[in-house]
Chain A
Amino acid sequence: MKTDDDEALASRLERLWPERMPDMSANLSDAVPVKRRTVVQAGAALATVQLTGCATTPEPQLAGFIDPPMPERPPTMMPVSLKVNGRNVRVTVDTRTTVLDVLRENLALKGSKKGCDHGQCGACTVLIEGRRTNACLSLAVMHDGQEITTIEGLGTPERLHPMQAAFLQRDGFQCGYCTPGQICSSVGMLAEVKLGMPSHVTRDLQAPGALSDEEIRERMSGNLCRCSAYPRIVEAIRDVAEGRTS
């Protein structure tokens, strides 16, 4: 039985994370009481038409997204060559393996973090061919032959990248889990700014202006920080953008 509290909670959660909130409470026997049988019958009839169409006629068939169930096959293994932080590596992976998993599991580069694993939090951000990318939504086999830079490749404790130094100087983190993604993302973001790429808050598309705090916040919205270190992250990025760190 669905309670008012459940519904209020689900509604609140959906507001907080509206894109992909799986429903936490809706009870379907309550939710869809009507005409289920009719719907099922209609669906069965349609399915028959589709299958018949597929099997017997060469007529164009609309590409519905429902495929007949197929037995699951053993994993497909494929070789992948990558250039990670300047080093050529070759691994053989299950086609399902993401770039993030290759970095962390095959290459022991644990700087890139697995947060949500769905491209929502940005903790896995790395630079692929120089562009900031969610490594968790990138299949390794699709990036064969490409260059990847992770937080480990940006700088070392002895020779920090200016952005790493700025995050330290400005204390742009608390727990640090999102930080490698924040830093890789901000490096990629500043490269986009340098190319003159506009953002949602850019007033004049023809002539993007200075990198205001509003611009930094908008451009970094794909990196979440649950400690909410945002003000200091913005300061750190501003320092680098304005050449105030070394």
Chain B
Amino acid sequence: MKTFSYERASSPQAAADAALARVGSRFIAGGTNLLDLMKVEVETPAHLIDVNRLGLDKIESLPGGGVRIGATVRNSDLAADQRIRKDYAVLSRALLSGASGQLRNKATTAGNLLQRTRCSYFYDISKPCNKRTPGAGCSAIGGVNRMHAIVGASQQCIAVHPSDMAVAMRVLDAEVETVSARGRRVIPIADFHRLPGNTPEIETSLQRGEMITAVLLPPPVPGRHVYRKVRDRASYAFALVSVAAIIDAASDGRIRSARMAFGGIAHQPWRVTAAEQALAGAAMGPSSANAAADRVLAGAQGYGHNDFKIPLLRGTLTAVLAEA
């Protein structure tokens, strides 16, 4: 690990200001991903700004019916919160399907959104990676790419975002609240995670010196909440594909509305409006599921080892809809 200096921020604004003032600084909250990356020297911050103990660890009900989740609320606390379990079950389920008990006790809401990809070439500093070194090349294209993207990838990067929580946040239309020298800003989750394009090193729409203070959930959405994660082991593994869904079905089996977001397949939580439109008003069944899957998978492309994700996603979506 490279050397670094350390400070404990006195307020969110002070933390944001410190990050703007010092090149090479990083915020640290749970640290479960950042420290891991620092140990392999993928991350080499010169300065760490500790944003724990700033009072950002609260979950509050909002007057309009939504919920404000502080940036440093631990994943385990968020999953166990009674409001989240009752009204946003897809979020609890997604959180509980990620990592281990120990990691969830430490990992935070904002840190989970900001997780880096687990692409093995990104982690291996002896291999070229455009995300680490722009212009170096992508080792996963033509390499071992079983875990990689099937939609939204580019010739520069086929990595996936590893989070389960973010997929649920996407289906819930969450918003990311930030603070910077310019004041408060609220970013819709749909605009938060970027596709790799020609700049895979830029993963979010956060600006320099901008810090996440909370994630805002709108009022609850009616329907059955499902998070289905398909992985190599029964527990403690990243998703091959995952589906977060909120399905509102009438008693005759007709779908009133369906919201779906997908994990493990793209550089961002993946959501396709056309697929949801295809389901609205349709009868539940294999043909409507296939029509939705066609739209989710529009333009999908495998890179060899991960070709299986295309039929796997179709099958998983069909199973989720059959269950709803």
Bound Cα distance from A66 to B200, whole angstroms: 11
B301 on interface, CB distance cutoff 8 Å: no
Enumerate A203-245 residues with CB–CB distance to B below 8 Å.
205-206, 217-223
Given contacts A72-B2, A118-B39, contact A134 B236 (CB under 8 A): no
The reply to whether B76 and A43 contact each other, CB–CB distance below 8 Å, is no
The reply to whether B106 and A76 contact each other, CB–CB distance below 8 Å, is no
Q: Interface residues of B: mostly helix, strand, loop or mixed? A: loop
A46 on interface, CB distance cutoff 8 Å: yes
Query: Could you say which of A60, A139, A222 contacts B102, with CB atoms under 8 Å apart?
Result: A222
- Nearest-neighbour CB distance to chain A for B127, whole angstroms, equals 6
Q: Give the residues in chain B near A36, CB-CB below 8 Å.
A: 137
The reply to whether B139 and A26 contact each other, CB–CB distance below 8 Å, is yes
Q: How many of chain A's residues have a CB under 8 angstroms from any CB in B?
A: 83
- Nearest-neighbour CB distance to chain A for B307, whole angstroms, equals 13
Q: Give the residues in chain B near A198, CB-CB below 8 Å.
A: 79-80, 85, 92, 96
The reply to whether A142 and B31 contact each other, CB–CB distance below 8 Å, is yes
Q: Interface residues of A: mostly helix, strand, loop or mixed? A: loop
The reply to whether A31 and B143 contact each other, CB–CB distance below 8 Å, is yes
Which of the segments B203-211, B214-222, B287-295 contacts the partner chain? B203-211
Q: Give the residues in chain B near A185, CB-CB below 8 Å.
A: 101-102
A108 on interface, CB distance cutoff 8 Å: no
The reply to whether A11 and B144 contact each other, CB–CB distance below 8 Å, is yes
Given contacts A7-B144, A18-B238, contact A222 B135 (CB under 8 A): no
Bound Cα distance from A21 to B99, whole angstroms: 16
User: Can you sample 9 A-B contacts with CB below 8 Å?
Assistant: A18-B232, A18-B237, A23-B124, A75-B3, A98-B35, A118-B39, A134-B102, A192-B76, A223-B100
Known: A132-B105, A139-B35. 16 other contacts (CB 8 A): A19-B237, A25-B144, A32-B137, A36-B137, A60-B208, A63-B204, A63-B206, A192-B101, A195-B80, A197-B79, A198-B92, A200-B93, A200-B235, A220-B101, A221-B100, A221-B236
Residues of A within 8 A of B (CB): 7, 10-11, 14-15, 18-23, 25-26, 28, 30-33, 35-36, 39-44, 46-47, 54, 60-68, 70, 72-76, 78, 94-96, 98, 117-119, 122, 125, 131-134, 137-139, 141-142, 185, 188-189, 192, 195-200, 202, 205-206, 217-223
